[in-house]
Amino acid sequence: MVSRKHEFSRSYMILKPHKAKFFDLFMFLLPFGSRKTKFIDCSKDNERSYINIIDRWFIVLSIMLQIILAAVATPLAQLDSFLVKLLNFISFNGGIIGILCKILKGRKLVKPDENSPDYRSLAGFSDWRRDLDSSILPANQFRYYGDLTMMAAKVAYESKPFIQSVVNDRWKMTFLDFFDFWNDFQGKATTQAFMFENTATDNSNVVVVAFRGTSPLDSYDWQVDADFSWYDITGVGRIHSGFMKALGLQKVSGWPKELTRPQHEFAYYTLRQKLRDIAKANDKARFIITGHSLGGALATLFVTLLSMHEETTVLEKLQAVYTYGQPRVGDRRFAKFMVNSVQQYGFKYYRYVYSSDLVPRVPFDCIIFRYKHFGRCVYFNGFYRGRIVREQPNKNYFSVLWVIPKYFSAWCELIMSFIIPLVKGSDYWESLLMTAARVVGLFIPGFTAHFPVNYVNSTRLRKLNVSYRVEDLIVEDDIEDD
């Protein structure tokens, strides 16, 4: 019998790491072990769907990752808070040399103001850049909006004052709003996004929605990425449960077209209404949705829900979706649904992947989870040489054949981070924090490849080999068979 809390979906699989014990996981992996476990909640039609040993390993891997991330959540949060305060203290006082000079001169040290437009997050300290690349002109829309949307996805990690200052003062565009959305399942606000209008070019009328992604030391964000649970949505397909919850999934009713007197602001419903209002007020308005990491998944799923609810007024004004380091969102049926939506409404979909970035390679594309990307991938290697591919190399990350190339790539990326500024200029000097992260990446290849700095560089330094128009990136037979 379908649980009332899952009644909006007749087919689902929810992993429960908090109910998993080591002995249960061990027995689950054995050929003769029990398949009825406390750490998997699924509909009856899926109870025997994880017979394959490889699928059981993927389930255990997902659960173990979530257990580890939950265990380190508090120390990671404390480390994040400490580093952010320390780095902002150093920055506000003119660096280490500035602090020493103030001490020697007997001057008072400045206490950082968290509401200041100069107060950065940890992601902000990994890449100092706030300005757009002035050498990329609006006439080249593919490159121009690649740079603009990636920078928007990057500054989405920051506070409202920081974002507002960057958009209005540096980009000379119009900041519209900042949001902190409620997650009904977490009982707190977990999803952030902001909107702005590109008023820097003549008659652009382009409104950009940027979702915040996975913060470097936010254990909850990483748990969402590591959780491979899914719900099957009628007419759409299997979709990652964590992404749906972050976007505003309702506990009992799922995705009703309209909410009746909601007590909180939910990402999908609030942003949809904002875009509805803009579309009605300005017939020339065009929309772009973007995000890095988790933000890319939310950008994609946001458009999925618009299409599911047949929001024609908004979709007909949708110009493009740009995602960077986006994890997989749904299964093959979901992918086909999205391809049909792209073709029906005529918007563009660009999915960027850099080198050995771990996140675009999860959740896994295997028999039990069946997560799929759709469309073609704009893939860049560690030297920022790009090509259009059907799927990024090493699609599930843990291939034995790719162990040596991944470590080699991590070393190349560290070395290149010192060479590029000498060739391309001071804009490409990396912070000490980013250099330290790249050293960590030598032991965990794919970790630092996910950082926004790599995607900003990809949009600016790229040498892209394209044998056909980038506008033709979506074709139906790009979706691999199960």
Q: Which of 165, 293, 356, 409 is catalytic?
A: 293
Q: State yes or no: is 202 an active-site residue.
A: no
**Alpha carbon separation from 186 to 12, 178, 183, 249, 271 (Å, rounded):** 19, 21, 5, 11, 20
Extract the tokens encoding 373: 């990307």
- CA–CA gap between residue 318 and residue 281 (Å, rounded): 15
Where helices occur in 256-293 by DSSP H, the ranges are: 267-281
Q: Which of 133, 225, 232, 357 is catalytic?
A: 357
CA distance 165 to 159: 10
Kindly provide the b/e burial profile for residues 119-144, where b requires at least 16 CB atoms within 10 angstroms of the residue's own CB: bbbbbbbbbebbebbeebeeeebbbb
List Cβ neighbours of 125 (8 Å cut-off, separation of 6 or more): 83, 84, 87, 91, 431, 433
State the DSSP H helix or E strand holding residue 369, giving kind and residue range, or none if neither. Answer: none
Quick one: how far is CA 427 from the chain centroid? 24
Whether 116 sits among the annotated catalytic residues: the reply is: no
Query: How many residues would you count in the chain?
Result: 482
Instruction: Give the Cβ contact number of residue 184 at 10 Å.
Output: 16
H/E run at residue 61: helix 53-71
Catalytic residue status for 450: yes
Q: What is the DSSP string of 398-447?
A: --GGGHHHHHHHHHHHHHHHHHHHHHH-GGGPPPHHHHHHHHHHTTSTTS
Tokens 């003549």 identify what position? 202
Q: Which residue among 6, 240, 292, 450 is the active-site one?
A: 450
CA angle 341-344-347, nearest 5°? 75
Residues with a catalytic annotation lie at 293, 357, 450
